[in-house]
Amino acid sequence: MVHPRFGTDGVRGEANRELTPEVALALGRAAAEILVDGGSRVLIGRDTRRSGPMLEAALAAGYTAAGVDVELLGEVPTPAVAWVAARDGLAAAMISASHNPFADNGIKLFAPGGLKLSDALEAQIERRFHELLEGGPTGGVTGAAIGQIRLSNHATEWADAVVGSLDGRDLRDTSIVIDCAHGAASALAPGIFARLGAGVTVIGAEPDGININEGFGSTHPDRLCSAVVERRAELGLAFDGDADRLIAVDHRGRIIDGDHILAILATDWKQAGRLANDTVVVTVMSNLGFRLAMADQGIAVVETGVGDRYVLEALNRGGYSLGGEQSGHVICRDLATTGDGVLAAVQLVDTVRRSAQTLAELSDSAMTTLPQVLKNVRLAQRDPLAVERLAVAVAEAEAEMGGEGRVLVRSSGTEPLIRIMVEHPIAATAEAVCDALVSRAERLLGT
């Protein structure tokens, strides 16, 4: 049997081939045993994929078979699940493959309080998960100890909290186009902006089970760019399938990525005294232009590995309030325990409105994106020392750029290849340095 990949939050794979009901059942039992005290309850949400109800039923069966009550939130954004879990001190699960095609699905697990799993918890759950899949002892409960399943409408309370995050301010007289990716934001996000007084045009909000992320959403923003220009809207907002990611579009139809959104918010929050320790947390993939802009504003930058999990860990460890990724995960840690695309969008539009500038003007003043060249070098086989073996070449390349550029070399976590990224104010220089490093890598690593 082909099992799905077990990652930092749970499992993901093709629904009913890798991610089967049997897998969901085993994961539910394992998560119940490790994360949930007997007699407690757990939350389950899902996005709009056709396979969601199938996996929801199996996952809920796994929890209840272990004596845990289940509250089904239905089709809701991932951040809504995390918010309710944080408020009520519960463990939770979200059935979604985020921005992946509809045939894929995943089960993301949250520890009690809506928190990401620690390495120790993840390892415990994975061990028990595989044991159950291989026919190990189940230890199920019987009689009145079996858990119950109930429907819940708590997600509307998350929507209330997002509206309330503006402390009474509104978005009146702001024209917005919203792209919901035919995903989990479809039912709730348009209403949130309408309640705040914005003039809202909605696209990508007609989910049919198989059209999630198809030509819409944060990974396919072309339709949003066109819609903003055609409707002469002030800006556009695109979410991914589970609405934990945000990409914006200015009135000219230009994409505003996660780096620019973070730069805008960080600058505004620092001026308002809201940016904890005058620090923002980003990953190694954030553009060099972001770092330079933050230095100009007197804002410290904490850097992590790629993945919102690592951003969250750094936020929690340092007591910081803002972090995220270039891809659009924006974490307002003073308001949420995870990335929340809708909340970040509300905060962004509020910042634009208060500034009396356009999103384009704010974005241009917040930072300048430097040319970034990314190329892959495929290896004959995986080499755990590949990055270390290129260290001298990387140091020489950075010295050649005279301190004006940056080089990042990473090994793929799933394939035998390394990724080489070079940034420099001059695009031709970034391209040339990257090409030279690729050639060095091919000679040194025997591709």
d(CA 351, CA 359): 9
Give residue-wise pLDDT tens across range 241-272.
Answer: 999 999 999 999 999 999 999 999 999 999 99
How high is the pLDDT of residue 320? 98
Compute the radius of gyration of the chain from its Cα atoms. 22
User: Any idea which residue has 């985020």 for tokens?
Assistant: 98
How high is the pLDDT of residue 432? 93
Regions in the chain scoring below 50 on pLDDT: none
Strands 322-324 and 279-283: parallel
Residue 74 burial (CB < 10 Å; 0-12/13-18/19+)?
A: middle
The answer to whether the pTM exceeds 0.85 is: yes
Q: Where are the alpha helices (DSSP H) in 66-118?
A: 78-88
How high is the pLDDT of residue 404? 87
* Residue 122 amino acid letter: E
* Helix pair angle (341-355, 258-271), 10° resolution: 60
Q: What is the phi-psi region of residue 80: left when phi exceeds 0, alpha when psi lies from -120 to 50, beta otherwise?
A: alpha
* Residue 195 amino acid letter: R
d(CA 293, CA 263): 8
List all residues 6 or more positions away from 58 whose beta carbon is below 8 Å from its beta carbon.
21, 22, 24, 25, 28
How high is the pLDDT of residue 414? 64
- Is 165 among the residues known to form the active site? no
Quote the longest CA-to-CA distance of the chain: 72
Domains of the chain: 5-154 (3.40.120.10), 171-255 (3.40.120.10), 257-369 (3.40.120.10), 372-445 (3.30.310.50)
List all residues 6 or more positions away from 441 whose beta carbon is below 8 Å from its beta carbon.
377, 386, 390, 393, 418, 420, 447
Six-digit token string for 383: 């080499």
Give residue-wise pLDDT tens across range 54-84.
Answer: 999 999 999 999 999 999 999 999 999 999 9
- From the candidates 98, 152, 286, 321, which is the catalytic residue? 98
Q: Are 243 and 155 in contact (CB under 8 A)?
A: no
Instruction: Using DSSP, state whether 270 is helix, strand or coil.
Output: helix
How high is the pLDDT of residue 5? 65
Please tell me the total number of residues recorded for the chain in this structure. 447
How high is the pLDDT of residue 2? 61
Q: Rounded mean pLDDT of the chain? A: 93
Q: Are 375 and 410 in contact (CB under 8 A)?
A: no
